[in-house]
Amino acid sequence: MPSYKLNINDKTHQVEVDKGTSLLWVIREHLGLTGTKYGCGIAQCGACTIHIDGNPMKACVLSVEDFSNGEKIKTIEGLSENGDHPVQKAWVEAQAPQCGYCHSGQIMQAVALLENNPSPSRDEIKAFMNGNLCRCGTYLRIIKAIELAAKSN
């Protein structure tokens, strides 16, 4: 079985998995970082959103062998040690989650937005967050949380 060295949340991890194994399954099942969720398996819902070199990507459709060259992979667990990232704090203040299943992916997408555009308009927020679905429909609270986080910067 091939061995892969991954840089996840600023730590080096060595994993032995079959070629073609989804990065999502490596993160969840082999490393125990379960904040990144499985939703659809086809990159349509955003529950598995992580950052690769600062860019939001859907882990369910990424193969582990494509990311063993030192790319910096960040999961929700790597965002902050105590859940005190400004976006996480805004999520709580806006009471964004209902069931909460999608919110690690939502938060990772929102962080990427604010890192590239610290003062997005409501239309820019909607457009950037469009690939992340919330089955509970808390979109207005998600938008409010992102607006709160933008103001706190």
Mind listing the pLDDT tens digit for each residue in 17-27? 999 999 999 99
How is the chain split into domains, by residue range? 3-77, 86-152
CATH of 3-77, one of 3.40.47.10, 3.10.20.30, 1.10.630.10, 3.40.1480.10: 3.10.20.30
- CB hemisphere CA count around 19 (13 angstroms): 1
Indicate whether 89 pLDDT > 90.
yes
Give the tokens for residue 107: 């938060």
- For the domain covering 86-152, report its CATH number: 1.10.150.120
Choose among 48, 55, 60, 47: nearest CA to 71: 55
Cross-strand pairs, 63: 22
Tell me the C-alpha distance between 153 and 149, whole Å. Answer: 7
Mind listing the pLDDT tens digit for each residue in 118-133? 999 999 999 999 999 9
